[in-house]
Amino acid sequence: MTHAPNFSLACMLFDLDGTLLDTAPDLISSLNYALKAEGLQGVSTDHIKPYVSNGAAVMIKHSTAKTITSSQHNKLLELMLDHYEQNIAIKTDYFQGIPAILKKLEEKQIKWGIVTNKRSRFTTPLISSFGLEHRANCIISGDSTPHPKPNPLPLLTACKQSNVIPENCIYIGDACHDIEAGKQAHMKTIVATYGYLKTDDQPDTWGADALIDHPQELAFWIN
């Protein structure tokens, strides 16, 4: 794992769920609240955690053994998201090693930001609960631009807000659509394999510049 000769890191961008923060406990708790409220059986963390990075609708899809109607799905989604909004950072925490990486970036005066498909309804209070809204150079939510990831627009918007060029940025994420977006934006890309990967995911085939098993490995990229 080596840097390109002309690569100089100007900004490190993070996906949110499964990369910067371990949000699975609160999302799964809200999912089970919704399932039980509708008389359905709850799901185990091991079963549903790999789908967290794909959003609430996908989590619901993989949580019910029986087929549910569109109206039932929409009801579950509403219940889950309303509950999550009210309980957004009860058990959520940084992945171990992330605070040290953010501190190192700031000490080196390297910009960093967040680019997530999570809607601002949830991103804003979540980021605020960790006091990151004044530390991050940019925070791009799933509804901040007309097209979310894998479209590169959110990442390009982050670059514009941070006054950096994509070629001097790194994007870290735990899903294939993260790497696809980063590559289309002409950034260096890193797979956070410590995140919410599915058992049949093959991150080594996604075309990323690196795979990391722990956030502390990001220190290698910080000049």
Catalytic annotation, residues: 15, 17
DSSP bridge pairs for 209? none
Classify 21 as helix, strand or coil.
Answer: strand
Q: Residues 48, 23: contact at Cβ < 8 Å?
A: no
Query: What Rg do the C-alpha atoms of the chain give, in angstroms?
Result: 17
> What is the rounded distance in angstroms from the CA atom of residue 131 to the CA atom of residue 190?
25
d(CA 183, CA 171): 9
Partner residues linked to 14 by β-bridges = 114, 172
The span from the CA of 19 to the CA of 12, in Å, is 12
